[in-house]
Amino acid sequence: MQTQSSSYRTWHRWLSLIVGIQMVIWAISGAYMVFFKLPFIHGVHLTQEADQPLTNQTTMNRLPDVLKAYPDVHDVHVVRRFIGGEYQEVAQLHTPDRKFLVSLNNLATITLNDRDIEALAARYYKKGEAEITRVELLTDNAPTELNPAHLPIWRVDFDDFGRTSLYLHRETGEMTVRRHDFWRGFDIMWMLHIMDYKDRTDITTWWLRGFILATFGFTFTGTILVIQTLRSSRRKLV
């Protein structure tokens, strides 16, 4: 009986270590996710509107020609966007499988280069003057902070306190994703919280299931030890 009790006690100690460590991790990660509000984590405070109001309403007269040249378009609107070193009024078109810009002068599609993207990112950025350290077109191998479904996409890195990265749509230059160190910290905390150390999306991982079994084992061995202690105490009283 004493050997069996010692075995339960050993299991209980090891399981208490496993359960206790994860409980501490949950407390820390949960506190982080509660303390920092989602709008802050999503970087809403980092950016602003970069397009300007339309100044030439006559450009709207070109829309029938645009729709005639691009019959697959299901949505079109005119925007005043900084392209080629100046603000231009261009048409942004949406088809079932892509978004792109078209010149209202010659109806040709507009291809954005790294200089256009850098200039747009500087105008999106809201936190004053910050040095842009990198402008890169990502076509494959998305970083862990970016959903691969967004590829291809432009990435612009800023040398600021949070190491901000702005992701702009490849063909339209629209703001698509914002990332900074507090978001990256949130992502790590979320990974630790749901125990998905690979994709950080699955809330039913085997790690979590294993922890649930460990918790049951911890509870079971603890209950057995309590029962054995109570029985031993009664025998001593008798």
Select from 155, 186, 149, 188 the least CA-distant residue to 170.
Answer: 155
Residue type, 147: N
Same structural domain, 96 and 19 = no
Same structural domain, 89 and 113 = yes
Name the 3-class secondary structure at 96.
Answer: coil
Average pLDDT over residues 74-88: 95
What are the helix and strand counts (H, E) for the chain? 6, 8
Residue pointed to by tokens 């040249």: 69
Q: What is the pLDDT of residues 18-70, one digit of tens each?
A: 888 999 999 999 999 999 999 999 999 999 999 999 887 778 888 899 999 99
Same structural domain, 89 and 166 = yes
Q: What is the pLDDT of residues 138-191, one digit of tens each?
A: 999 999 999 999 999 999 999 999 999 999 999 999 999 999 999 999 999 999
Same structural domain, 11 and 118 = no
- Quick one: pLDDT at residue 89? 93
The total number of structural domains that make up the chain: 2
Same structural domain, 120 and 168 = yes
The pTM for the full model equals: 0.84
- Quick one: pLDDT at residue 13? 86
Burial 184-202 (b: 16+ CB within 10 A, else e): bbbeebbbbbbbbeeeeee
Q: How confident is the model at residue 233 (pLDDT cuts 50, 70, 90)?
A: low
Same structural domain, 131 and 82 = yes
Q: How far is CA 59 from CA 49, 55, 108, in A?
A: 21, 9, 15
Same structural domain, 28 and 56 = no
Same structural domain, 90 and 174 = yes
Q: How confident is the model at residue 87 (pLDDT cuts 50, 70, 90)?
A: very high
What's the token pair of residue 103? 């010149």
Q: Which domain holds residue 127?
A: 44-179
Same structural domain, 101 and 214 = no
- Quick one: pLDDT at residue 234? 63
